[in-house]
Amino acid sequence: MIDQNILEKFYSKIFSVPKKRVSVAIGITSIVLASYLNGISGKSFFAMRYFFIGLALLALLLFFGRLLGSGFNSRRIFFFALFMLVLIEIADVIAIHLLSPELIVVSPSAIAFILSVALYFTSERFSYLAPLLILALLYPVDYLFSFSAPHRGLAYALSSLAGVSLSYLFVSFMSGKAGRIVVSDILRDFVLYWLKGEPGIFERRIKMYSEVREGKVFVIRVGDATLIAPEFHPGPFRDIGGAKLVERALGRFSMFLHAASTHATNPSTGEDVEAIIRVTPEFEGARARKPYSVEGKRFRLKIYPFTTFTLIIIHGKESIDDIPSEVRDIAERFFANPIVVDGHNAYAERYELTPEDMTEIYMLMEKASQISPDECGRFEAYFTSADYESQSICGKLALLLMSFEGERHGILMVDANNMDIELREYLERVGKKYGVELDVITTDNHSKTGVSPKIGYKPAGMVDAEAIESFLERAMANAKLSEVEVEFGVASVRVTVMGERFFKDVDAAFKNYGERAMYLFILFSALNYALTFALSSVII
């Protein structure tokens, strides 16, 4: 799996920019400070130099941004132009205080490497000619506000070419492969998707490395309520592929049950998601029997043993996250038509299922299968839902309240990516107050994962307790249980999923290129400055 912390640090640095008024304040401060530091021939000269170079940079980046299909909006272009200006001011400081004032004419060429790399990874139609043209068109302004020196045009041109050449070497390094993945291609499409907000950009790249998988989609009808449990995972993040699965499923169904699955079964595209939720299974009737539980050291299994299928909800006692689909294979040894649901209701950072966990689940399945469920003469149900969104809850709360000859159980769905165990236990106590044994589950919805640097992966917590309790109280007060029919259906669907190999390749890309690319970027950025002043010192 991709390290979520690495991913969030990456986008929080790359995609967060200050507001324009903050950028303007930074720009004015940098111009004043640089003019003061470099004002050997009058501070107004340097103030005008930086003002007009900054203005020219902004205009050129806006123009070439449109030409290249840049993912930068106007605010990001403004900040990027400011950043480039600060780098030019730093080059001026080096020239004036450490070398020779005549060398400030080549200062803009010291940004060639960073400019070229930034354009490459944020543009749909990049050409190495673009950074060279930007620097060439910037030269007249730079020339006007510089000191007389021989061959300064030649020095500027060669220094710019050297910087762009370094960017070519850097991109060539990043174009290496990690498994099947071309690192520069997937990084570029990821950056463009994030900047433009168009998931199709990244989904098309993902699909190139995806695999076709056949999986089952289970649907349960309880009166007017319909519950869907697809054997596909609702990830990876934000609005990419399967991250749209829960939202779209809840547009057609009453509840979403997170069937046992891992990120390897993330649907690759929005089209795959649509194929999953538009299945049309054939239904057969089912009679209710009384539910029961079995528990071990790490897990508790809640069994709803209907006559034609068995709904099994796995609760983590201390932690739970992404029960693999192999658990359903285990369940099939003991139950007919088992629907294994990962409760996803006990968040623990960096938790991964262990062989000991799998052994316990197997033993609990076997133990549960040996219990003969009590028959239920009268089955009643009531369903309600409400819209609710917070930093961690993605938009929906739903309750299926069931009575098995007066014995009341309920499935409370919280539309979130996992849940703090403190919240789950609190809600279970609320249910007991009303005489209901609640199975509190989450959907594992990834639509808020990575939506902004401030949110990221955030499970539902006690901050949401009041709103959920209020929903439960209204539901219990208005509950009108009535006898209903239960039906069960299952259909198979073939879609493209990301696959285990994709995540292994991405992990390899992070490990083999991530740190080295960062150090190489810093080295080449410094080398651009060094080459700029070394070449110009020889030529001028």
Q: Which of 278, 301, 270 is nearest to 228 (CA)?
A: 278
Query: Which DSSP symbol is given to 395?
Result: E
Q: What's the pTM value of the predicted model, to 2 decimals? A: 0.86
Phi, psi of 492 (to 5 degrees): -100, 145
Rounded distance between C-alpha atoms, residue 226 and residue 91, angstroms: 65
Contacts of 375 (CB under 8 A, 6+ apart): 289, 290
Tokens of 135: 């620097």
Token pair of 298 as six digits? 């790490």
pLDDT of 8 reads 45
pLDDT value for 15: 54
pLDDT, position 39: 62
- pLDDT tens across the length of the chain (540 residues): 444 444 444 544 555 666 667 666 766 777 677 666 666 556 688 888 888 999 999 999 999 999 999 999 888 999 999 999 999 989 998 988 889 989 999 999 999 999 999 999 999 999 999 999 999 999 999 999 888 878 889 999 999 999 999 999 999 999 999 999 999 999 999 999 989 989 999 999 999 999 999 999 999 999 999 999 999 999 888 889 999 999 999 999 999 999 999 999 999 999 999 999 999 999 999 999 999 999 999 999 999 999 999 999 999 999 999 999 999 999 999 999 999 999 999 999 888 899 999 999 999 999 999 999 999 999 999 999 999 999 899 999 999 999 999 999 999 999 999 999 999 999 999 999 999 999 999 999 988 875 444 445 689 999 999 999 999 999 999 999 999 999 999 999 999 999 999 999 999 998 999 889 999 999 999 999 999 999 998 887
pLDDT of residue 50: 86
In whole angstroms, give the CA distance from residue 85 to residue 103: 16
Helix (H, G, I), strand (E, B) or coil at 291: coil
Q: Domain boundaries in the chain?
A: 17-175, 377-484
d(CA 77, CA 35): 23
pLDDT at 455: 44
CB distance 334 to 368 below 8 Å: yes
Q: Is the dihedral of CA 30, 36, 41, 45 positive or negative?
A: positive
Predicted pLDDT at 165: 97
